[in-house]
Amino acid sequence: MSRSERLLALLQALHGRRRAVSGQVLAQELDVSIRTLYRDIATLQAQGAAIEGSPGIGYVMKPGFMLPPLMFRDEEIEALALGLRWVADLGEQGLSRGARDAMAKIAAVLPHALRRELESSALLVGKAQRKPQAAGEDDPLRAAIRAERKLRLTYQDPTGKTSHRIVWPFAIVYFEQSRVLSAWCELRNDYRNFRSDRIVKAELLDDASPRSRRALLREWQQLVREAKRNILSESDIMPT
């Protein structure tokens, strides 16, 4: 890794943290000596980087500091191109447009050589199998998650039976052929998953979700982890 790449990696490591991090942790993460790390931090500070802290206390970057022009390794360029192309080709209309806009914005700030690599990446996406969202159709599922508002769903189970639910949505899980809305369901008083192709109607309500999407997501993830651990524990004591 060149010195310029190392300095950029250090900026990115600091930029992704909200709290002070020790020099030892940063040195291990970047695979450099603690002496080199202190020297690199001093260099960045001298160049105007908003880094505060000292040895023994830790370092933090002031909010709002802008990173220098984007630089990516070959694998990062390929990952960006493939991911954005996947969303552009297979995502619903709003995300598809967002992916194309993001690709254009990233390309605009890349150095010329990297921009050519991004635009000419040979990693392509296969033809979409999932039914695309109709032109001009809004997505109330993502809108509800962003605004942290309740949704009223008309939902069909696998047998075709219809139910009406008020839910607090917090995540959408994307699969190759479908997507699943994860939410707290007021009817069941528990977490439930809803396949989007079985949602007959989704109405965005004015009522705010009683809990933030971060809190719901964190609790849901914890329940999933505990369920997996329980399955493993049971399998350990089952006779073979």
Greater confidence (159 vs 65) lies with 159
User: Which pLDDT value is given to residue 66?
Assistant: 58
Indicate if the pLDDT at residue 155 is higher than 50. Answer: yes
Domain boundaries, the chain: 3-61, 74-119, 140-227
Q: pTM of the entire structure?
A: 0.61
pLDDT in tens, 190-224: 999 999 999 999 999 999 999 999 999 999 999 98
- pLDDT for residue 133 is more than 60: no
Q: Are 164 and 185 in contact (CB under 8 A)?
A: no
pLDDT in tens, 56-97: 889 998 876 655 555 677 788 888 888 998 888 877 788 888
| Residue 232 confidence (pLDDT) above 90 | no
Region 175-183: what's the mean pLDDT? Answer: 86
| Beta strand residue intervals within 40-123, DSSP E | 51-54, 58-61
142, 183, 178: which is closest to 166 by C-alpha? 183
Residue 166 binned pLDDT confidence (cut-offs 50, 70, 90) = very high
Class of 3-61 in CATH: mainly alpha
Give the pairing of strands 51-54 and 190-195.
Answer: unpaired
DSSP string of 2-49, one letter each residue: -HHHHHHHHHHHHHT-SS-B-HHHHHHHHT--HHHHHHHHHHHHHTT-
Q: What Rg do the C-alpha atoms of the chain give, in angstroms?
A: 23
pLDDT > 70 in the chain, percent:
87
Whether residue 50 has pLDDT greater than 80: yes
Fold of 140-227: SH3 type barrels. (2.30.30)
